[in-house]
Amino acid sequence: MKMVAPWTRFYSNSCCLCCHVRTGTILLGVWYLILNAVVLLILLSALADPDQYHFSSSELGGDFEFMDDANMCIAIAISVLMILICAMATYGAYKQHAAWIIPFFCYQIFDFALNTLVAVTILVYPNSIQEYIRQLPPDFPYKDDIMSVNPTCLVLIILLFISIILAFKGYLISCVWNCYRYINGRNSSDVLVYVTSNDTTVLLPPYDDATVNSATKEPPPPYVSA
C-alpha cells in the first residue's frame, strides 16, 4: 500500500535544478529583489545627477532627456513597490506564509499578460517592427543590419524569442503557484492521509489512535497490506 497526502496529487514539489518549490521561489524572489534594487539605485542616481542621463544632439540627432522628474518619481515608486513585493514573496516562502506569496504571483500573471499582448501585436501588425526600427537614433548599434533583414524573417525571429521568454515565465509562474499550494496544504489544520490500493482508496486512522480510542473495547486487528 502507498500513503499519499492529498496536496501532492496534482502538482510537483520540485522545480528547476531539482530544487524544492520553496527553494525555487526563495531564489526567484531574491533574484527579482536584487534586480529591482539595482534599478532603484540607477533611478536614484539619475534623479540626483540628471546631467548623467542627458544626451546631446550629436549623440542622438536631437536634444533628448532620459526622463523628466515626474516620470522618474513614478519609476522610483514602482521600483520600491516591486522590492516590497519580492521581499514579501521571499519571506512568505521561507516562513511558509502562503498569503505573502500572492502579490508576487499576481505580478507574474500581469507581466505574462503584457508579454503576450506584445506577441499578439507583433503577429497582427508585423510592419510595426520596421516602423519602430526606423524611429531609432541614426547611431543605434546594428540598426542598418537589422533593417537589411527580411521583414518576415525578422518577425519570426522576434516571435520565437518572445515565445521562449513566455515559456520560461510560465514555468516560473507554475513554480510559485506550486509553492503556494504546497505551503497552503502544509498549513492546513485538517490533514488527511489516504491509504490507497490498486482498486480502492480508504481513509484509515493511525493504528495507535484506534487502539487508544477503543480502550474499553477489544482492540482492532492489525492493518495488513493488501
On whether the CB atoms of residues 86 and 78 are closer than 8 A, the answer is: no
Q: What is d(CA 132, CA 142) in angstroms, rounded to the nearest whole number? A: 14
Q: What is the pLDDT along the chain (226 residues), one digit of tens a residue?
A: 444 444 444 456 666 556 788 888 999 999 999 999 999 998 888 887 766 665 544 444 444 455 567 778 888 999 999 999 999 999 999 998 989 999 999 999 999 999 999 888 888 887 878 788 887 777 777 777 878 888 888 888 888 999 999 999 999 999 999 989 888 887 774 444 444 445 554 455 554 555 555 555 565 566 555 5
Read off the C-alpha cell for 213: 480510542
Beta bridge partners of 4: 194
Domain boundaries, given as residue ranges, for the chain:
22-53+66-95, 98-199
pLDDT of res. 209:
54
pLDDT of res. 193:
46
On whether the CB atoms of residues 27 and 19 are closer than 8 A, the answer is: yes
How far does the chain reach from its first CA to its final CA, in angstroms?
Answer: 7
pLDDT of res. 128:
79
pLDDT of res. 12:
61
pLDDT of res. 186:
77
- In this structure, the number of other CB atoms found within 10 A of the CB of residue 20 comes to 16
pLDDT of res. 77:
92
Q: What is d(CA 117, CA 121) in angstroms, rounded to the nearest whole number? A: 6
On whether the CB atoms of residues 203 and 194 are closer than 8 A, the answer is: yes
Residue reference for cell 550629436: 58
pLDDT of res. 131:
81
pLDDT of res. 68:
66
Q: What is d(CA 93, CA 179) in angstroms, rounded to the nearest whole number? A: 7
Q: What is d(CA 63, CA 71) in angstroms, rounded to the nearest whole number? A: 18
Residue 128: φ, ψ to 5°: -65, -25
